[in-house]
Amino acid sequence: MAKRKMSNPLALAVLATIREQPRHPYEIAQLLRSRHKEHSIKINYGSLYTVVQSLERHGFIEAAGTERDGRRPERTLYSLTEAGSAELVDWLSELVTEPVKEHPRFEAALSLIGVLPPDEAMALLERRVVAQDAWIASQREELAAVMESGVPRLFLVESEYSLDMRAAENDWIRQLLKEMADGSLQGMDGWRQYHATGEAPREWQELEAERQQD
């Protein structure tokens, strides 16, 4: 994986929009929002202007003139440089091609869920499923409305991906809850014993002893 001068996804989005035609930062923000990119990329005007300045400093974009809208101050239009075009294609190709280890908050929580009593953990997971089901349904309705408004599906595939990943996560949680409830989850007895007695089960202690010997 290449070490890049910039790693902010917003910078990638700026390069992509400027590749279509020269734009000023305010127009870039409007375009990204009209294509509903705020669901996958954090967008605010302050950070956008900082990103634009950084892209210009690194030679990926350059001023290509100015534009005036009525009585508003002139706005600088930016275009893509040759280096910026190469960076855009290379960076995007890397993101599409190369899987990387990410660290979602939920994954971190699952790695430590044994801290909670089993019944409490199950109740919290059930609440997550309910909340996430509602969110998925709401977002699917919004996505359908956006597509009906004429926004090409090409600009919305990341939203489809996100929704399907959330739905798959909920299916996985439901299966986990089933195994926790019927006791078939390996380690479940030890988990209950730990919270009943306050002491780690013998098998946990043996695993720790083996680890220290390695």
Partners of 78 in the β-ladder: 23, 63
Among candidate residues 161, 165, 149, 167, the one with its CA nearest the CA of residue 35: 149
State the pLDDT at residue 209.
75
How far is the C-alpha of 130 from the C-alpha of 138, rounded, in Å?
13
Which DSSP symbol is given to 103?
Answer: -
pLDDT in tens, 29-80: 999 988 888 888 888 878 899 999 999 999 999 999 888 776 777 889 999 9
Contact present, 61 and 79 (Cβ < 8 Å): yes
Q: For residue 24, give the CATH number of its domain.
A: 1.10.10.10
As to burial, measured by CB atoms within 10 angstroms (0-12 exposed, 13-18 middle, 19+ buried), residue 114 is middle
The phi, psi pair for 184, rounded to 5°, reads: -85, -10
State the pLDDT at residue 167.
97
Residue 169: domain span: 105-182
Which DSSP symbol is given to 65?
Answer: E
Same domain, yes or no: 175 and 138 = yes
**Across residues 123-132, what is the average pLDDT?**
97
Same domain, yes or no: 15 and 82 = yes
Same domain, yes or no: 65 and 127 = no
State the pLDDT at residue 70.
65
Same domain, yes or no: 23 and 66 = yes
Domain-embedded: residue 51: yes
Domain total of the chain: 2
pLDDT in tens, 77-121: 999 999 999 999 999 999 999 888 888 899 999 999 999 999 999
Domain-embedded: residue 203: no
Query: Crossing angle, helix 9-20 and helix 82-97, to 10 degrees?
Result: 130
How far is the C-alpha of 168 from the C-alpha of 174, rounded, in Å?
10
Q: How confident is the model at residue 18 (pLDDT cuts 50, 70, 90)?
A: very high
pLDDT in tens, 129-181: 999 999 999 999 999 999 999 989 999 999 999 999 999 999 999 999 999 99
3-state secondary structure of 78: strand
